[in-house]
Structure 1
Amino acid sequence: MKLNKYIYLPVSLFATLMMLSCGSKKETAGESHADHDESPDQVEVSSTQYRTAGITLGSPEWKEISSAIKVNGLLDVPPQQQVSVSVPMGGFIRQTTLLQGMPVKKGQVIAVLENLDYIQLQQDYLEAKSQLEYATAEYQRQQELAKENVNALKTLQQTKAAWQSLTVKEKALKEKLAVLNINMNALAKNEIQRTINIYAPISGYVTQVNVNLGQSVTPADVLFRIVNTEHLHAELTVFEKDVPRLKIGQLVNFTLANESKPRKATVHLIGREISNDRTIRVHCHLNEEDTQLLPGTYLQATIETGAAKVKALPETAVVNFENKNYVFAKTQVQDSIIAFKMIEVQKGNTEAGYTEVGFPAGAPEKDLVVRGAYDLLAKMKNSGEHEGH
């Protein structure tokens, strides 16, 4: 029950409250002062009021309660399923048909670039290849002469060095051209290309288009972003206090922000680093893949952690006031006056009439009100309102 300025109570509880509030008028003069020295989180009742309200005391019990961790998260894709497309060498955009949201296939041409440097690189390669052919033949000739002791050793060594240098140069230029996707078969026929093609590295959907025709781009620029949504996963944020309850393989029920029907996933990886906000990331695989889902979609989830033995009190022992949970603990008995203190607790899962309760450090865990807690809360707040008038 959440109490605002005005308290609305069932008839039975209202009657009990009236008896608690008015019963003291029939007590002795000493008992009539029971409520005047109460602190904001304390309430006092006479022994007669105690019996009338049917207040019962108890202590936490170890109960096996099925629990689930409620968390938030979002849909995400593995790093290998999202690609930022850049170019190894700058140029001008001469052709592209991509739009955001468009599907693409791996190996599809997504852009065409033009640059004079592409022509120069091919020219350098053809020249190096030609020089290498001559250097190879010369090196072989010098080797034959050396066998007959016709030439000097120095000449052979110089020829070998030139051959090795050109071999490295030709191979390096060939690799550069391969990175640029230059057609080497056409180049072997001296067919020099003025443009290069940019191919889609993965299949998926285009999420970003950052270029337009005629734009000059450099290797530092991201031209496109492509995401493959075939293997989305749920990335959950779990608080530090719940980490010991996590295990690989646990069932996860989650609901997307734009859906009402729950989906299922399984805990696959548990993060090993606690962030500054005292949380960890939990990676979950979806039980059913859905390529229509979008990365970044917000979700709410519950992780089924199974039953565990926890400290629990009857549901009637825990009261709710201003979105916080409390229990009452008996603090003293003096001159037929019984005092109770309200203690804030952490409320967990509830099952079979018992609720998991977490107590603050140093809080008493005996002589707790397990029946009549709402009567005490109502009396305490009602007394506070009368004192304010």
Structure 2
Amino acid sequence: MRPSRRLNNACLGALAAMVLLLVLSASSVSGKAQEAPLYHCPMHPQVTSDKPGDCPICGMRLVPVKSKPAPGRGAQPDARAASPSQQAVPAQAGEASAPATTALPLQLKTKTLWRSTMNPNEISDHPGKDSMGMEMVPFTVTESSTQTPAGLASISVTGADARRMGLTYGLVEERDLRRDVRTAARIVPDETRLYRVNTKVGGWVEKLYVNATGQAVRRGQPLLSIYSPELLASEQELLSAMSAAKQLARSPYSQVSQGGQALVDAAVRRLKLWDVSQAQIERIEKTGQVEKEMTLYAPASGYVTDKTVLPGQRITPGDPLMVVADLSTVWAEAELYESDLPYVKVGMAAKVTLPYWPGKVFEGRVSLLDPFLDPATRTLKARMVIPNPGMVLKPGMYGDAHLEYDLGIQTAVPDSAILPAGEHNYAFVAGSDGTLTPVEVTLGPRSGGYFEVFSGLTPGQRVVTSANFLVDSESSLKAALQAIAAGK
């Protein structure tokens, strides 16, 4: 009996050891299953894997998901382990109406695709191997029903992701817009204030009172004197007519006496037609002596801009002798591009500033728009009349012209929200659920950091104003994946 009892005890011990081994094995397998690591993409949390690798959407390295400690073990929950969609997002300073702190899930269709692990651009709608013979990995894409511009798709950005990307938002609103037209302007003399000095009789220059270009003159100041045999003969005719008129005045016949005065009047008119001054005519009549020289006077106050005469020079009727420019008012000529022409009108206010004199503004008005476009520069010349007190503006100077056209109250969007795409423009509109939807917009003129909106946006909408290109890249990638999923 003793050997049989020993055999039974040995069998019971072996059975107990086997049961214990099975329990330990099951516990180890369960622990390993619970502790199996899980990896996900920080930018696309829906992409997960049980082994390290790269995100098939953006190519970023997958990071391990931090698991929460089992409840009841005294461990405190790690707030950092929460997903971005579960974190509260405080509004950034200066950020207008930050998005909701928790992104609400969207009711979007999903589709599974397969991507090559070596070539992220190689995508298929069914499992298999890529061109390098490696197994393709699955991933999911969402399909939005929102109508968006071609090549773009709506995306969902949580508050944490928005803060990490540096997203800021602006508001579409009604604003008082003004179109600013700025261009270079060149100062030139006012052509209506240029005076040419010449003579209507031939002769010789006796004396020059103003003998230098650029010299300032006053109205009525002597410029030069000339000797003219023709003028001398006309003065002598005046004296002869005066003598004859005195003799004829004693005639008993009124017609004869009046004829003598008519001769005097005709001689005076002839001298005036030759620009002999009234004072000189009166002097001849008073003294009864002819004057050898005739003096030419400045027709206006200004500066001598041109002088083509020298003492002793022979001149003929009509020869230009001097040019006097009145610079109390000058012109500013600006070149306007075709896109600015609808906003520049004759009579509108204009301002001219000088680059070397900050804060000094010369105000005037647009007086003329050239009827012809310059075929070489494709610009139109605009002329502005600018008062020039103190003669500060000199012909030949360059300044900056500023024209302002009132557009009135219009719907406006911040210019930083606009992304140009060839012939089209679009912006990303922020929804209350954290979605960013691309919208094509039609824009008007730009004014003070804003664009006038013709269509596409309405007042009250929030639009992305910074990190637009990051959002645009994500939207383009998502649209490309949706196109592949749809078999396009």
Q: Where on the TM-score scale, by shorter chain, does this alignment land: which range?
A: 0.5 to 0.7
Which structure 2 residue ranges, 5 or more long, are not aligned? 1-42, 44-54, 61-114, 127-138, 142-148, 374-379, 429-435, 478-488
SS in 2 for 1:70: strand
| Bigger relative contact order, structure 1 or 2 (CA pairs below 8 A, ≥6 apart) | 1
Correspondent of 1:240 among 329, 336, 341: 341
What are the equivalent positions in structure 2 for 1:12-31 lying under 5 Å apart? Answer: 25=120, 29=124
Check whether the contact 1:234–1:285 (CA below 8 A) recurs between aligned residues: no
Distance change in 2, residues 1:253/1:228 (3 Å): same
SS in 1 for 2:390: coil
Check whether the contact 2:442–2:453 (CA below 8 A) recurs between aligned residues: no
Correspondent of 2:233 among 120, 123, 146: 120
- Per the normalisation by structure 2, the TM-score is 0.51
CA distance in 2, matches of 1:104, 1:295: 17
Correspondent of 1:87 among 196, 199, 209: 199
Correspondent of 1:210 among 285, 302, 308: 308
Letter in 1 for 2:244: Q
Match of 1:356 in 2: 451
CA distance in 1, matches of 2:473, 2:367: 45
SS in 2 for 1:214: coil
CA distance in 1, matches of 2:352, 2:424: 30
Match of 2:253 in 1: 142
CA distance in 2, matches of 1:301, 1:225: 28
Q: Say yes or no: does 1:265 pair with 2:351.
A: no
Match of 2:294 in 1: 196
Measured after TM superposition, the shift of residue 345 of structure 1 is 5.3
Which structure 1 residue ranges, 5 or more long, are not aligned? 1-11, 13-17, 35-41, 144-156, 331-337, 383-389
**CA offsets 1:228-260 (integer angstroms, 9 cap, x no match):** 33444656666431136x876x5x553225x24
Correspondent of 1:374 among 469, 472, 479: 469
Match of 2:244 in 1: 131
Check whether the contact 1:108–1:200 (CA below 8 A) recurs between aligned residues: yes
CA distance in 2, matches of 1:113, 1:125: 19
Measured after TM superposition, the shift of residue 113 of structure 1 is 1.4
Correspondent of 1:179 among 276, 281, 287: 276
Moved more, 297-306 or 373-382: 373-382
Distance change in 2, residues 1:45/1:29 (3 Å): farther
Q: Say yes or no: does 1:294 pair with 2:390.
A: no
CA distance in 1, matches of 2:276, 2:443: 63
Match of 1:105 in 2: 218
CA distance in 2, matches of 1:230, 1:57: 52
Measured after TM superposition, the shift of residue 281 of structure 1 is 3.6
CA distance in 2, matches of 1:56, 1:292: 47
Check whether the contact 1:73–1:300 (CA below 8 A) recurs between aligned residues: yes
Check whether the contact 1:86–1:221 (CA below 8 A) recurs between aligned residues: yes
SS in 2 for 1:312: strand
**CA offsets 1:289-340 (integer angstroms, 9 cap, x no match):** 222431342211324557842332233322469xx9962379xxxxxxx997
Measured after TM superposition, the shift of residue 120 of structure 1 is 1.2
- Per the normalisation by structure 1, the TM-score is 0.62
Whichever of the two has the greater Rg, that structure is 2
Check whether the contact 2:249–2:258 (CA below 8 A) recurs between aligned residues: no
CA distance in 1, matches of 2:438, 2:451: 21
Higher helix share: 1
Letter in 1 for 2:269: A
Correspondent of 1:276 among 358, 362, 372: 372
Distance change in 2, residues 1:180/1:64 (3 Å): closer
